[in-house]
Amino acid sequence: MGVPRFWREIPSRYNLIGVKCGNCNKILFPPRFICPHCRRTGKLEPYKLKPKGKVLSYTVIHVAAQGFERMVPYILGIIELEDGPRIMAQITDCDEKEINIGDEVEIIFRKMGEEGKEGVIYYGFKARKIPKS
């Protein structure tokens, strides 16, 4: 539980890298080896997704996984990225009263937690509301 969902501190991972199918142009995130639509006929190329999306739904989490107790309560949202894929991400820097379905968010990278005595720090993506101008 936990760790595999979070990315290590590797600069190349500070982006949303998915794949794009050369056959149907669908963008897949997280990356896959085979396009679920085209099977083997689709050739997949790495694709950098735009770090923008909107809130499809959200829920407030009051019970944290072990090691993440300091985070609660927090807002977990399903974000539809501009490029199409949907991701689950914590909505950060705002109160549950401030977030609404359809709000625009940007995807940012934030420290998610620290592990053990080596102090390995894990980063993951979170969503932050874009203030309406």
The CB-of-47 to Zn ion minimum distance in angstroms stands at: 12
DSSP H or E stretch at residue 30: none
For Zn ion (CB under 5 A), the number of binding residues is 7
Smaller CB separation from Zn ion, 38 or 76: 38
* 126 to 17, 23, 57, 63, 116: CA distances (angstroms): 15, 31, 15, 18, 23
28 half-sphere exposure, CB direction, 13 A CA radius = 20
Among 6, 23, 54, 74, binds Zn ion (CB under 5 A): 23
* Residue among 17 and 34 whose Cβ is closer to Zn ion: 34
Q: Which residue has the tokens 């997280």?
A: 30
Q: Which stretch binds Zn ion (CB under 5 A): 19-27, 55-63, 73-81, 122-130?
A: 19-27
Residues 33-72: x/- map of binding to Zn ion (CB under 5 A)? --x-xx---x------------------------------
**DSSP 8-state symbol, 7:** B
- Is there binding between residue 19 and Zn ion (CB under 5 A)? no
Provide φ and ψ at 64, rounded to 5°. Answer: -95, 155
